[in-house]
Amino acid sequence: MISDNLSRIYKELPSGVALVAVSKFHPVERLMEAYSAGQRLFGENRPQEFAAKVPLMPSDVVWHFIGHLQTNKLRLVLPYASMVQSVDSLHLLDAIDRWCRDNGKVMDILLEFHLGAEESKHGLDEQQIRQALSATREGIRFRGLMGMATNTDDEAVVEQDFARIHSLFLTLQREFPHHHAFDQLSIGMSGDWKIALRHGATMVRIGSDIFGNREY
Ligand SMILES: *Cc1c(COP(=O)(O)O)cnc(C)c1O
């Protein structure tokens, strides 16, 4: 049961750590089960699916976009998202900034750090992250970092990944104190969120532990 899964997670989540219920690939009826159990923050990773679900859910749902976003899909996402967690290129950052200035909005964003060992994973390296943070942009509020650990059963590798992004996060807070709202570290998914809690997570993004397996 979705509500049982959620209450189990709520019990173990320290106060101050937000739970993003990752509902991609699941129908709105299942999201509503989570909503009825009290969940308000949801994450989706595909623009089309995201835009289709938003109008079907109650208006007090808070939506985070957590997937790769192409600049020709911004209009499907930016009007409804309160945060884009997956800014994985400077080109995308520029495009979000421009869209937001044109539409009188300021978007909360996380810079996605390429953390895991996989080449296939999206994300910025440390130098690109510093480059992003060195300018202020009217349409952007920098809120922190997002990262995905290496996909492995070896907990030591996952620990190392999370320790690395946590340390970068703290360093950036010291280097860029003018980004006052840079206070979110989004790490941890179904397989590794308990490890992420030991490494400074302020947000965990959990899908299958809440909704069960996805059918791709
Ligand atoms: C799918 C997804 C998650 C959740 O994954 P689970 O293993 O199902 O918890 C978290 N973050 C991102 C970016 C995702 O795409």
Kindly report the average pLDDT of the chain as a whole number: 96
pLDDT tens digit sequence for 141-196 = 999 999 999 999 999 999 999 999 999 999 999 999 999 999 999 999 999 999 99
Closest Cα partner for 203 from 161, 177, 166?
166
For residue 119, the model assigns a pLDDT of: 80
- Ligand 1: residue of 45, 63, 194, 216 to mutate (most ligand atoms within 8 A of CB) is 45
Q: What is the pLDDT of residue 121?
A: 77
DSSP code string of 69-115: --GGGHHHHTTT-SEEEEE--HHHHHHHHHHHHHTT--EEEEEEE--
Q: How far apart are CA 211 and CA 191, in angstroms?
A: 14
Return the CATH number of the domain spanning residue range 2-211. 3.20.20.10
Domain boundaries, the chain: 2-211
Per-residue pLDDT, averaged over 46-55, amounts to 98
Q: Is 186 in the pocket of ligand 1 (CB under 6 A)?
A: no
Q: Take residue 58 and report the two structure tokens written for it.
A: 């109650």
Give the SS3 label for residue 42: strand
> How confident is the model at residue 210, as a pLDDT?
98
